[in-house]
C-alpha cells in the first residue's frame, strides 16, 4: 500500500515538474551571437537554433519565428541599435554595411573599404575570381572569371583579356 502511494506521489511530482517547465515563457537567448551555416557571425533567434545572416536583420522581413529580428528597439535609428558584430563601418563613417558583405569581392561600401586594407583584411581572390584592378566600380581587387576573354576590358591592365586563362 505504501509502495503504491509512493509511486503515485512520484507521478504527481513528475507531472508538476513537467507543467512548470512547459509553462516557462520562451526567453530570449542571453547572447544573440551565433555562427551561420556559411560561417558568418550572425543573429540568434529566440528558438536558439536559427542563426540569421546579418543582412537578414532589420530588412523588413520577419526571418525569426516571432519576428525578433525586426524588433523596433533594434531597427530604429539604424545601425546604432544593432549589435556591433552585425555591421561594418566603411571608410566614410557615414556609411555602413552588414558584416557579411565584407570581403565578398563586391564594392558594397562604394569606396572598396569593405574589401581592402586597412579596414578590411580579406583573403586573396577565390578560385573563380581573377585578381586585377577592375574597370568596373562594382568590384575592388578581383573580377569574376566569367568576365575573362569576353571581348570587353574589365581590368585596367587588360589582363582579363590577355592573361586570364
43, 56, 79, 86: residue in contact with Ca ion (rule CB under 5 A):
56
Interface with Ca ion includes 101 (CB under 5 A)?
Answer: yes
Nearest distance, CB of residue 120 and Ca ion, angstroms: 8
Nearer to Ca ion, 57 or 147 (CB): 57
Nearest distance, CB of residue 54 and Ca ion, angstroms: 10
- Give the torsion through C-alpha atoms of 73, 78, 80, 82, to 10 deg: 60
Residues 102-131 that bind Ca ion (CB under 5 A): 104, 106, 108, 114
- Long-range pairs for 83-87: beta carbons < 8 A, 24 or more residues apart: 83/32, 83/33, 83/43, 85/33, 85/41, 85/54, 86/41, 86/42, 86/43, 86/54, 86/57, 87/54
Nearest distance, CB of residue 60 and Ca ion, angstroms: 7
Whether the CB-CB separation of 58 and 75 falls below 8 Å is answered with yes
Interface with Ca ion includes 68 (CB under 5 A)?
Answer: no
Binding site for Ca ion (CB under 5 A): 56, 59, 61, 63, 69, 101, 104, 106, 108, 114
Amino acid at each position: 500500500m505504501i509502495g503504491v502511494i509512493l509511486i503515485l506521489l512520484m507521478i504527481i511530482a513528475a507531472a508538476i515538474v513537467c507543467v512548470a517547465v512547459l509553462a516557462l515563457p520562451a526567453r530570449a537567448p542571453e547572447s544573440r551571437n551565433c555562427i551561420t551555416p556559411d560561417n558568418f557571425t550572425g543573429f540568434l533567434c529566440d528558438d536558439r537554433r536559427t542563426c540569421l545572416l546579418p543582412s537578414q536583420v532589420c530588412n523588413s522581413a520577419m526571418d525569426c519565428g516571432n519576428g525578433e529580428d525586426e524588433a523596433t528597439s533594434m531597427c530604429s535609428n539604424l545601425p546604432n541599435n544593432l549589435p556591433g558584430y552585425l555591421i561594418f563601418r566603411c571608410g566614410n563613417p557615414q556609411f555602413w554595411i552588414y558584416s557579411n558583405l565584407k570581403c565578398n569581392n563586391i564594392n558594397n561600401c562604394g569606396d572598396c573599404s569593405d574589401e581592402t586594407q586597412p579596414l578590411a583584411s580579406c583573403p586573396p581572390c577565390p578560385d573563380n575570381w581573377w585578381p586585377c584592378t577592375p574597370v568596373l566600380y562594382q568590384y575592388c581587387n578581383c573580377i569574376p572569371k566569367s568576365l575573362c576573354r569576353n571581348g570587353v576590358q574589365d581590368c585596367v591592365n587588360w589582363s582579363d583579356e590577355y592573361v586570364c586563362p
